[in-house]
Structure formats: structure tokens, C-alpha cells
Chains A and B, each alone.
Chain A
């Protein structure tokens, strides 16, 4: 079987394995072992199967497309590459050559096909897909193992102390162990569906499915109002983003008639149809971005109507140069990005992620740090070829704002999981910013490394919470002695996230990815000086990240215990929970390294770099002309040096400040808080976004609802009641008429008849002589009448 058929089969099976686990646990969960404890094994087995299959697929891929080293930093451009001997081996990103990534695309099943529109379940497999499969399944496996230990409370009846019943007392409920793994399996299936999707419609389907799984998982402890509210908030805020995504989908489908990424080859069903990438970056134009014909025609609909059909094709270029259709492409890009804003918790739709910490910690680790929130970044990365410079600038700014807001809130948060949640939001802002300034590889690189160390950090925090039975960092302290493994792995995670390393030599995984982002941001700022603030945001963000992450570590693990009750009961977590921590910390350290020979994340990503994006872009109409430097330029020369030094200094400054405040307590946090009281209050109030949204959206909706219900009760119900009352009155009148008049009439008739009968009865006296009299009188009367009426003579 050739690779084009093998990869979809392997990845398809890897995709469906968690679905099988979901179905099995759905129907047989409670019967799997006592209280369903074996459901964890079933789910874990499924995800391990997925991991194995993904590794096989990766192996197959690497066998067919070995990862080549990409040359940086030698300052050679252009001709030097072209002149190099073939021994260079393979391809490298070169100027003047339009580089098309190797990708396999196809459809498994067509749901609906009519005319030019085709909805199908299919795949688009390139290096990024394989990489994401491995990452997602690997982290999911770690989480599954961790959760099988963490969720042991659900194996017996649970008394939930956070639920207060109306009669006083706490909720007592049976455990829901299988259900957790059921939802987790469904989530893995949905996430892998997004990764493998070959068209935007399929992405959207699994987008929503992932949202539902997130809802299930956040609201796992659904009897707690806080948990159920948080689940609803997550889903609704995501829905707001999806609204924009639908607009983008409509723009694409309506104007271009297809949602597939790659071209559909000609087959029995129809002719070859180009996909989105080919439409927006045609090979004939060297894969440069331009407004596709369909959108031009759509925008010039009035003109098209006036032009005879044969001449339309010739006029398209003219219309395109007039600028027709570029707004539609802009809307399409921004629309799809809206979905990512919702899913990846960017400004302004980030308010759901901190509340999502109501779910169990494994959920936070898997869904809300490593995978689901990464789906937005992944989609931007996948959809990158279609994004115009204006859209990319919007993405960059959104990322920058998000980065800054979330980092500042994390400075003053006291709940350990909240800090990590805001950290996630901030890092996602990093990724979006990276993608927005043209750093396609940097952004996705950071996505992968972030997945490792953020899930590690969450699992460690889960371990701490499990030991201390509290999330509040103010009650922790000095746990390093009690929980050495947790402390150590968490330290690794913190170092990874701040990008610690020896500059220019070696570093943890975050060092490389953060470096790449900073470099690209600097390159962009230099090319577009008016947008220098983006670089400042990145640098400032690095400082803040370092500060709050080490604040977290020092408050939790260093110093003396603040609450002796907590410290006395704390203990190290069992091996089943510590093992994933160790595994993930190894990856958090090593994921960024490039092995001799070229195998590494960065080079693997380069294999799937979209066609035409290697050279950078210029363009843009909405925000002035923009220059997106080519990414490989940021790996060379001055930019690289400046970026690395900036990253190192800012991170060091952050760690030092955190140590001063929380380790050696030279600067007192309380004093700082008092001195900067308004700032502190603002940050502690989380920038009052929840209150703002409440006032902007919730209150008017409630007002409208109250108005509607008031109208319904006061006007409509009253009207109906009035109608009913009128009907009753009319009925009363009718009843009266019926009783008095109709019945009366009938009764009167009957009575009259009866009385007449009674009176006539008196004629029947029984006296014979009177009867004779009557006969005679009657005869006489008849004769008189007859003689009066008939005047003829009878006898002749």
C-alpha cells in the first residue's frame, strides 16, 4: 500500500479508536469492573492504540519524507542556495522557488453533493497533521493515566461539600467514574477529527463537538452551580466565536463553492476541483496570495450581470486590480479567526477559560491547556495560506492584547489553577501574535512546546491540590520538602515556560519557541516601524510570564509553610500520578532540541509550511501597506541575537523580581499592593471583564427577557384572560338565554300543551248527553261555515 493510502488508514484508525472507547463505555461503562473502574483501562487502551498508530504514521511519514536540516544564520540568500550542490540534500526553503508542502488529501465519505458544493468527511495529512496527532495522543495518554489515579474519588459514593442542599447538608451522590472517561474519549475523538479534517465543514462539525465535550467535562461536577455555570459560559462564549466562523464559512462557500483545503482530483463523480489553497494561492502565480476569481465575481456581481458570459473570464483580472473582492477575502479570514478567538480564548472571548477550571484538573490539563485551546491556533496555522496581510495584522493585535491582559491578571491571582489558566490565555496570545506577524513556524512550534509544559504544569498543580485539598496559594508554602517530585517537575515546567536556557547554546523547549517568536516579532517591527508595539508586547509579556510563574512556584513550594494544617496533611502523590509528570517534564526539556542530522520539531514543521509563505508577504489595503518578512530571515544575524538577548534578560529580570518578593521577601507584596492600590484592584478584579460583559450583554438580555415575560404576562396573558373572561361572560349569557329563553320556551310549550291538555280534558266529562250536545253544536257550526263558504246549490 502506498503512503497516500497508508497514512489516511493509520490516522483514520487512530482517530476512531477513542470513538470506539466512547461507545463501549457509553453502553457498558457501569458494568466494567466494580463501579466501572475498568473504564479507565478501556479509555487508556484506546488512546494508547491511537498513540501507537500515530507513531506508526509518523514513522511512515518520516520514512517517505525524511526531515532535512534547514539552513539558517549563514546570511546567504538567493543565489547561494541555488548554487549549492545537490549534496545539500533535499529541499530547503529557498527564494524564487515556490515550495509546495507534501500533503495527502482525500475524502472518506460524501455527506452531500449538489452542483459545485460537496460536504464530506475527509482528510488532509501533512507533516503538521502527523505531528499534531502524536502530540495530542501522547499528552492524552499521560492524562488518561494520571486521571485514573486522580479520579479515584468517583469510584465510590461522593459527598460533595461544595453543593448545599435546600434542607441543609451536603449532596450525597454515587460516583461517576466511567462517565469521566467516556467524555474524555469523545473529546479525544473530536480533537483528532479537527486535526485530520480535510475541509472546513468537517472542522466546524468537530469544532462544535469539541465544544460539547468541553461542556461535559467542565460541568462534570454539575451539581455545583459554579461548575454548571462555568460550563454554560464556556459553551456560550464559544458559540459567539462560532457565529463569526459561520460568517467566514458562508463567505468562502458562497463565493468559492468549496470548503476543501486541497484540490479534489478528477474521479468518477466529477471533474477536478481546486481547493481553497489553490484558489487563493494559485500555482500559476507562484503561490502568491491573491483574491480568488470567485470572490472577485461575487463582489463585481453588478458588473458580471451586465457582461456577456464569454467575456467575464477576461475581465476578472481587471476587476481584481480595482480591488473588488478583497473585502470578502478579508471577511472570510476574520470570520474563521473569530472561531479561533472563541476556542483559543483570545480577547475579547477569553472570559470562559479561567472559569473552566471548575472541571477536574485532568480536564484542565488536557482540554484547556494542551489541546482544545490549541485547536484555534492549529486552525489559524492550517488556514494560513488564505489569510491576507490585513487579517494577519488583526490576528497579531488580538494576540498582543490578549497576551498583555492575561499576563497582568495572572500577576495577582491567588488560585493556583487560575494563574495557570491565565498563563494559558497569555501563551495562546503569544501564538496568535506569532502567527500574525508572519511567524508560521514559530507559532506552531510554540503550540507544541506549550502543550507539553502547560499540561505538565497543570498536572503538577493537580498533584498539589490533591495533596493540600485547596487551590489557594496563600495557604501553601514550603511544599518542596514534602513533595519533591512534584516540586521538581513543576520547576522544570516553569523554566520551560519562561524560556530558560543558556543563550546561543542550549535551552529547554520553551527557550527555542519563545526565541523564534521574539525574533519574528522583532523582524516584523523593523519592517513595519508603526507596529513596533507588537514587539514591545512580546518582550513585556516575557518579563511578566517569568514573574508570575516563579511567583507561583515560590509561593507554593518555597519558604515556610503559611498554613500548618495544610502542610501537615500534604503528601507526595502516588506513582500513577507522578509518572506522567516525569515523562512530560522530559519532553518539556527536550522537545525543542534538534538532533544532529536535522530531526527536530522546527524542521518537521518546515515540511508542511504552506506554499508561498516562505518568502514573506507584502500587501494589505485596510491598514496601510504591510511587510511580512520571511521567517527564515529572523533566524539569521542581528535579529536573532537581539531577540535571544532580550528574551534572556526579560526572563531573568522576572525571576529575580519574583525571588525578591516571594523567596527572600525583600520587597513585600502587600506593600506593593497597597502602593499601587488602584492598579492592584483593577488586576485583582480581572480587568472587570465579567462585570463589563454582564452589564453589556447579560443585563440587557435579562431586561429584554423581563420585558418579554412582562409583556407575556401583562399584555398577552391579560389579553387571553380577558378573552377567556369575555367568553365566560358570553357563556353565562348564553347559558341564561338557554336556560331562560330556550328552555323556557320549550318548557312553556310543554306547560302550555299540558295545561291545554288539562283544560281539554275537562271536555271529557264522561257525560253522554254533553257529548250529544257537542255533536249537534258542531254539526250546526259546520253547516253554517259551509253555507257561508260555499254558495252553490247542491241539489238540482
Chain B
């Protein structure tokens, strides 16, 4: 009973915002703090998912959807693949020296302070929002991508023809094609291993052993790497 009353008094927009914000920031911090690269990947996925929620709350539901589909479902999956391919024992957790971490922390703190100061500096940004979503944005975005602008121009913009986003759209398409080809080339199967790789593998074996306990299967795989063999 009282719960329903309270629920009615609750500003769900604000509540959901804080929820998603907490999740996003928390998991982002988690990415930073985690040592295990696999865990880092998971936390990142979750963080970016929460970010999508933020997008929805801000009225950019199309973007939010795209975030989930492309970013989380594509890019981060790709990243996870990468993690899986390289998650050999010595590389799963690689620790940084504490000094580096402190230094990075100090610098980041200063940057954060700067950004926060910038965020709160402009009066217009601090005025509370309306807390509602009225217009869906998918159609205007889609149509703008083919060059037609159907959205209302914001007040105060000078009159004139507003351009569509056909050209950037095409460019990005070509860009993705190029990236596709390039990535495919870069990651192609090599005929033979370079001498350097062999040497490095050998040196890695010698270096890694005293530092890290190399499990037998890892050593075996390292030696498999060293003796060459295509992937």
C-alpha cells in the first residue's frame, strides 16, 4: 500500500538514471581495478550495457539500441574473442607496478577534477530537465542518413538548408569495408614464423619462468608456438 504510494511519488526518470549511472560507473571502475583480463571484459560489457540504458533515458532510444547491437553485441564480442585468443596463462593477469598506478591515479584525478569543473561551469547545463520522452528519434535519424532532414530545427538556428548525413554515411560505409579488408589482411594466416618470433618465444620462456610459474600446458603451448606451426 504505502509502497504503491511511494512508488507513485518516486520520479522514476531520476531513479532509473541514478541506477544506470551507478552501474555504468561502477563497472567502469571495475574494469580499471580488475586484474584478470577476462573479468575486465565482462565488466566492460556490463558497463556499456548500462550506458545504453542511459541513452534510452535521454531520449536517444535509437542510439541506445544501436549501442546494444553494435557496440556491445559486436565490438565487445570481438574484444572477447581477442581475449580468448590471447588469454594464455602468462598474459591473463599482468600486473603493473604500483608506482605507475599511483601516478596514473593522480593524473586521472586531476583530469576528472577538470572535467567535473567544466561540467558544472555552464549555468544552462544545470537546469533540471523535463523528465519525459516525447518524440521517437529513429525516423528522423534514418531519413537524415539518406540526406533528408525532417526534424524541427532547434530554436535560434539560422534559416537555411540543413544538410543531411548522406555523405558521412557513405564514407563510413566505405570505411567499414576498408577496415574489413584491412583487418582480414592483417590477421591472415602467415606461412612461416619470423625469426624474431622464435627468439622472442625463446626469451619469453627464459624470462617468464623465474617470474611466473608457468603451467605445463602453457609451456607446451609456448613451445608449440616456438616450434612453429600455422594457426
Contacts and interface: CB of A to CB of B under 8 A. Distances in A.
Interface of A: 769, 773, 776-777, 779-780, 783-784, 793-796
A776 B107 contact: yes
Contacts of B118: 783
A795 B124 contact: yes
Contacts of B111: 776, 779-780
A773 B107 CA distance: 8
14 contacts: A769-B96, A769-B100, A773-B104, A773-B107, A776-B107, A776-B108, A779-B111, A783-B114, A784-B114, A793-B121, A793-B122, A795-B122, A795-B125, A796-B122
B157 to A, nearest CB: 13
Contact of B114 (A769, A773, A780, A795): A780
A399 B74 CA distance: 144
Contacts of A779: 111
Interface in B111-129: 111, 114, 118, 121-122, 124-125
B14 interface: no
A777 B107 CA distance: 7
Given A769-B100, A773-B104, A796 B124 contact: yes
A784 B124 CA distance: 22
B110 interface: yes
Contact of A780 (B96, B107, B121, B122): B107
A780 B124 contact: no
B116 to A, nearest CB: 12
> What 3 pairs between A and B have smallest CB-CB spacing?
A795-B122, A776-B107, A780-B110
Contacts of A769: 96, 100, 104
B8 to A, nearest CB: 36
B103 interface: yes
Nearest to B96: A769
Nearest to B125: A795
A780 B96 CA distance: 23
Nearest to B123: A793
Contacts of A783: 114, 118
A370 B203 CA distance: 125
A617 to B, nearest CB: 132
Given A773-B103, A780-B114, A796-B124, 16 more contacts: A769-B104, A773-B104, A773-B107, A776-B108, A776-B111, A777-B107, A780-B107, A780-B110, A780-B111, A783-B114, A784-B114, A793-B122, A794-B122, A795-B124, A795-B125, A796-B122
A691 B189 CA distance: 122
Contacts, number: 26
A769 B100 CA distance: 9
Contacts of A796: 122, 124
Contacts of B96: 769
Contacts of A780: 107, 110-111, 114
A777 B106 CA distance: 10
A777 B100 CA distance: 14
Nearest to B118: A783
Contacts of A776: 107-108, 111
A777 B104 CA distance: 10
A784 B114 CA distance: 8
Nearest to A784: B114
A784 B117 CA distance: 11
Contacts of B103: 773
Contacts of B121: 793
A783 B114 CA distance: 8
B228 to A, nearest CB: 27
Nearest to A795: B122
A776 B100 CA distance: 14
- Of A777, A779, A780, A796, chain B has the most CB atoms within 10 Å of the CB of A780
B121 to A, nearest CB: 7
A613 to B, nearest CB: 131
B52 to A, nearest CB: 26
A795 B120 CA distance: 11
Interface in B92-108: 96, 100, 103-104, 107-108
A344 to B, nearest CB: 117
A794 B121 CA distance: 10
A769 B121 CA distance: 31
Nearest to A783: B114
A56 to B, nearest CB: 123
Nearest to A769: B100
Nearest to A770: B100
Nearest to A796: B124
A675 B110 CA distance: 138
Contacts of A793: 121-122
Contacts of A795: 122, 124-125
A133 to B, nearest CB: 120
B115 to A, nearest CB: 9
A442 B108 CA distance: 140
A430 to B, nearest CB: 127
A777 B109 CA distance: 11
A117 to B, nearest CB: 104
Contacts of B125: 795
A779 B108 CA distance: 11
A718 to B, nearest CB: 77
A794 B119 CA distance: 12
A680 B152 CA distance: 151
Contacts of A784: 114
Nearest to B117: A787
A322 to B, nearest CB: 120
A343 to B, nearest CB: 112
A767 to B, nearest CB: 10
A544 B56 CA distance: 160
A796 B154 CA distance: 14
Contacts of A794: 122
Interface string B124-143: 11000000000000000000
Contacts of B100: 769
A171 B121 CA distance: 119
B141 to A, nearest CB: 24
Nearest to B112: A780
Interface string B182-215: 0000000000000000000000000000000000
A773 B111 CA distance: 11
A769 B104 CA distance: 9
A793 B124 CA distance: 11
A783 B113 CA distance: 11
Nearest to A767: B100
A436 to B, nearest CB: 127
A796 B103 CA distance: 36
Contacts of B124: 795-796
A785 to B, nearest CB: 12
B129 to A, nearest CB: 16
A167 B107 CA distance: 102
Contacts of B107: 773, 776-777, 780
B10 to A, nearest CB: 31
Nearest to B104: A773
A279 B127 CA distance: 135
Nearest to A773: B107
A307 to B, nearest CB: 109
Contacts of B110: 780
Contacts of A777: 107
B107 to A, nearest CB: 5
Contacts of B114: 780, 783-784
A405 B110 CA distance: 128
B108 to A, nearest CB: 7
A98 to B, nearest CB: 133
A127 B104 CA distance: 135
A706 to B, nearest CB: 92
A776 B107 CA distance: 7
A784 B104 CA distance: 18
